[in-house]
A and B are shown apart, each in its own frame.
Chain A
Amino acid sequence: MDRKDNSDYLWDGSGEPDPEIQRLESMLGKFAHRGARPVFPAIVPARSWWSRIGWPMRLAALSAATAAVALLVASAIWFMIHRSRRIPAPIAESPSPSTWQVARLAGEPRVGNAAIEGQSASLAPGQTLVTDGKSRANITSSDIGEIEVDPDTRLRVVQSSSDRKRLALDRGVIHAFIWSPPGEFMVDTPSATAVDMGCAYTLQVDDSGAGLLRTTLGWVGFRLDGHDAFIPAGAVCATRPGVGPGTPCFEDAPLAFRAALTKFDFGPADQRASALDTILAQARKRDALTLWHLLARVDVNDRGRVYDRLAKLVPPPPAVTREGILHLNPAMLDIWWNQLGLGDVSLWRTFERSWSQSKVAQ
């Protein structure tokens, strides 16, 4: 059966029907919505300025509003028609869906040493996209996502296989919006690898190789040699060469808390104890994110203090014991993490296993 026809049938029911999809439709239709429209309670309209003004003013306002609506409709239609011309080719018709397409947004971004001819170009594994101080670019892949590349950035394509898409950010800033399945898209930096778990995020790397990841939607894993950090929406995590990912925290955490965390993660060893005192004292319930990570990062003598503070903020589930956490029991740590309501860690564990298997296979 022709692949395009099947794809069209899946898309909008046109083209040659796919028997398997038809069978699923007929079988699963039993679960479809059938409820009748309920009787909704009466809606009390807000008494607005409109009802308080006289008819002459209302007519004047109505004329102005009508003109504005007409303008808005025309703009909306124009906007949508023009945007519809910019869509990437549908995945089923694309010869290599994992290929990145580069579009120039400003200045003269380059692929390797070559300037982009026209408005767009392809970016294949092994190639590097470079923007200077005045350039910006956008790279898209229909089955991975969309990434905006800021000025002074150097971004390489490392791998584009069907189940693993990998870029390397040597320096600069990228803003990623990813729709490929969780765990398939990664960005290497000089000091950690960011693993997409279904999200949007900004990643920046400076000339020293230090990085900062800020998640705006979903969550991202940051890892180096088995040293992991989970960064949910609204949180940030720094990373340093030779150290790896620091401890994530929410951006709205108190300033003193964040400063102490930086000291704890990357400061001199003799300042860690006082930094930990500040972190524990300042932690809010929301900062359970940070305290959970600290359980595995503090010295064994301090772990009890972190446990006690975290337990006060988010009581551990019955399956989690103090003794188990003090010994860093992996299952208990995972159960407690899930209790925080920041994402299901079993997803991460699944992908962890698949990564180790693929490493063994290599």
Chain B
Amino acid sequence: MERRTVSEGAEGSGAVRLAEAGLRDASLVTAARDGDRTAFGELYDRYARMVHGVLLARVPYGAVDDLVQDVFLQALGRLRSLRDAAAFGAWIAAIARNRAHDYHRRSRDEVELTDDLSGTDAEDRASSRAPGGSHPAPDAEAASALAAIRSLPEAYRETLILRLVEGMTGPEIAARTGLTAGSVRVNLHRGMQLLRARIGAR
């Protein structure tokens, strides 16, 4: 069984909008392949929030901005290998997940291994002490809420961050990531239940 590339949960008109969005992506990808940098810039505008959310679900806040640029640069270099231009969203989401995985693999290679192998909390603490990016340092309550989301299972973590942090709607998340609307809806609902329980328990 394969992960589907179109939103199943949209109403008929929503499905038409998604088809139109897919066609717009396809034409932007084609234009970018032909050397049109503005077209690739438009793809960035359409997908940067999603890529940012996918990364924020997996790597420390302070590292996300740089990785977003990395992901788009990787995508730019590999654009010709994308077979289905309309599937740009699912494709770049996969690049972002791989980039996050690679980030942790390299961190493990460089940092002496401790019992806490993820190192995420320590890195987050470090990045909140010395924020190098353009964001303001987050307050403690917001950081605690983000940490609660990041403690959830991966599927819930990513979907909730896209919804609550990046401000995307469920249908948008499905359309941008290539997940089914049914899966996104389930992940949002179950993830929110778990999040309420965890925030309540703190």
Interface residues of A, Cβ cutoff 8 Å to B: 7, 10-13, 20-21, 24-25, 27-35, 37-38, 40-46, 73, 76-77, 79-81, 83-84, 86-88, 90-92, 142-143, 146, 148, 175-177, 179-182, 198, 200, 317-319, 331, 335, 338-339, 341, 344, 346
Q: Is B41 in the interface zone, CB < 8 Å from A? A: yes
Tell me whether B155 and A11 are in contact (CB under 8 A). no
A95 to chain B, nearest CB (A): 15
Q: Specify which chain B residues have a CB less than 8 angstroms from the CB of A180 in the assembled complex.
A: 190
Question: What are 24 contact pairs spanning A and B, CB under 8 A?
Answer: A21-B192, A24-B145, A27-B145, A29-B165, A31-B61, A31-B142, A33-B52, A35-B65, A37-B45, A43-B37, A44-B35, A46-B33, A46-B80, A73-B23, A80-B6, A80-B19, A81-B12, A90-B9, A91-B185, A91-B190, A177-B1, A182-B153, A319-B113, A335-B117
The 8 Å CB contact of B190, one of A21, A34, A143, is: A143
Q: Specify which chain A residues have a CB less than 8 angstroms from the CB of B76 in the assembled complex.
A: 40-41, 43
**Closest A-chain residue to B1, C-beta based?**
A177
Contact with A along B67-93 (1 / 0, CB 8 A): 011001100100110000000000000
Q: 8 closest Cβ contacts across the A-B interface?
A: A33-B52, A80-B15, A45-B35, A317-B113, A177-B1, A12-B169, A11-B170, A181-B153
Q: A12-B169, A40-B41 are in contact. List 18 more A-B contacts (CB 8 A).
A: A10-B192, A21-B192, A33-B53, A33-B68, A37-B45, A40-B40, A40-B72, A40-B76, A42-B35, A80-B10, A81-B16, A90-B9, A91-B189, A148-B1, A179-B183, A179-B187, A318-B112, A318-B113
Q: Specify which chain A residues have a CB less than 8 angstroms from the CB of B68 in the assembled complex.
A: 33, 35
Number of A-B contacts (CB under 8 A): 184
Q: How many residues of B contact A (CB 8 A)?
A: 84
**Closest A-chain residue to B52, C-beta based?**
A33
Secondary structure at the A interface, as helix, strand, loop or mixed, is: mixed
